[in-house]
Amino acid sequence: MRAAVLTGQGGPPRVAEVAAPSVRAPEDVLVRVLTSSLNHADLDAVAQARDGVPGGLGLDFAGLVVEAGSAVADLAPGDGVLGFLPPGVPHEGPGAFAEYLVVPARLLARRPATLDFVQSGVLPLAGTAALLAVDAVVPPRRSRLVAPTRGPVLVVGGSGGVGTLAVQVANARGAAVVSTGQPQDRTLLHLLGAIEVLDYSGDWLPEVRERYAEGVDGLVDLVSDADRFVILSELVRPGGRVASTRGAADVSALARRGVTAVNVVARSDRELLGRLVDCADAGTLQPVIDRVINLSDLPSELGASPRPHGCGKVAVTIGD
C-alpha cells in the first residue's frame, strides 16, 4: 500500500510502498482510509524526524471497514467510520496517511450520514478538541427549556481547524462568541456564529477591556503560550471559565482568582466521537475546509515554511 513515511534522517516525509497492516487482535478493525487531514501534531512529527526519530505520520482518518476482528460485533465490512490515532502514542504501521490502517474498534465511530468523506476526515481530532474545550467553558445545558442566552466567550484562534468548530459549538450552546481572526476571515466567522471578530494583527485587548468592563464569561484559547495565556485570562471575570488546547493554563493559579481552567487533551474514544457525529448530523457543526490535497502532495505540503494562512482545515485524500 502507499503511505507517507518519515525516514528519521531528516527532510520531509516521502510517499512509499509499504506492507499493509492486518487484523491480529480480536478487537481490531482494518480500515481502508479514504481521507485524512493535517494537524499540528503532524508538523511536530516531521520536526522530530529531523532530529533523527523515525515514525508514523497522520492521525485523522475516515474510511471504510474492510475487516473486523472476531470480538467486534457492531461493525462490518463496508461501514463508513472515522476516528484518530491518539497523538504521541506509538502505533504499529505508518499512521493515517496511508491506504490502510488497523485500529481497535473502541477508537472508531460511524461517520456522519450528512457529511461526505472529505468532511468526515477533517473532523475527528480538531472536533474532539473543540468539543472538550467548549464543554469546559460553556457546559451543555441540562434542560432545553432554559432560554439560550449566555455571556460573551472569547475564542482565540477561531479561524483555525479547532477554532472554526469551537465557534460553532459555543454559538449553538447560546454563548455570545467573540473571535479573533484576520480581516479576510471575518465574514466566515460571522457565518459560523461569532458576533464580533477582532483582528489579531493589532492589539485587540484594549477593545475587549473597554467593551466588557466586567470581564468576559469564558476564554477558549487555541493559540497562546503560558505567558500570553496569563494576560488573556485576566479578561475573564471571577467565576468564569477558561480552556487551552496548548497546555497553557495554570489551573491552580487561576482557581485562586476564582476562574475554572482546563487544559484540554483530546481523547480518541467512541463516545466522544459519537457526540461529534451527532452534532454534525444535527446541523450544529459544519467542518470548514480550507484546501484539499492528496497523499502525494504531503512531502511538499509538510516541507513548506512558513505555513500559508488558511481558514479551517487542510483535508488529505488518500486514494487517486
Ligand X SMILES: NC(=O)c1ccc[n+]([C@@H]2O[C@H](COP(=O)([O-])OP(=O)(O)OC[C@H]3O[C@@H](n4cnc5c(N)ncnc54)[C@H](OP(=O)(O)O)[C@@H]3O)[C@@H](O)[C@H]2O)c1
- The binding site for ligand X (CB under 6 A) comprises 39-40, 125-126, 129, 156-157, 159-163, 180, 182, 200, 222-223, 245-246, 264-266, 309-310
Q: Which is nearer to ligand X, 68 or 235 (CB)?
A: 235
Rounded to the nearest 10 degrees, the angle between the axes of helix 124-137 and helix 161-172 is 40
DSSP-H helix ranges across 105-160: 117-122, 124-137
Query: Can you read off the three cell numbers belonging to residue 260?
Result: 475554572
CB-nearer residue toward ligand X: 141 or 309: 309
- The nearest distance, CB 290 to ligand X, in angstroms, is 8
Q: Shortest Cβ contact with ligand X: which residue?
A: 160
Rg (CA), the chain: 20
Shortest CA distance to 228 belongs to which of 154, 160, 134, 131? 154
Q: Shortest gap between Cβ of 223 and ligand X (angstroms)?
A: 4
Which of residues 75 and 302 has its CB atom nearest to ligand X in the complex? 302
| Nearest distance, CB of residue 203 and ligand X, angstroms | 11
Smaller CB separation from ligand X, 62 or 222: 222
Q: Which is nearer to ligand X, 46 or 65 (CB)?
A: 46
Q: Least distance from C-beta 67 to ligand X, angstroms?
A: 29
The answer to whether 102 touches 23, Cβ cutoff 8 Å, is yes
Residue 95 Ramachandran class (φ > 0 left, ψ -120 to 50 alpha, else beta):
left
Q: How far apart are CA 267 and CA 145, in angstroms?
A: 30
Residue 301: Cβ-neighbour burial (10 angstroms; 0-12, 13-18, 19+): buried
State the virtual CA torsion across 108, 91, 295, 272 in degrees, nearest 10: 30
Backbone conformation region of residue 52, classed left if phi is above 0, alpha if psi is from -120 to 50, else beta = left
Q: Which is closer to ligand X, CB of 237 or CB of 246?
A: 246
Q: In the beta sheet, which residues pair with residue 277?
A: none
CB of 20: closest distance to ligand X in angstroms?
A: 28
Helix (H) or strand (E) holding 259: none
Nearest residue (CB) to ligand X, 34 versus 264: 264
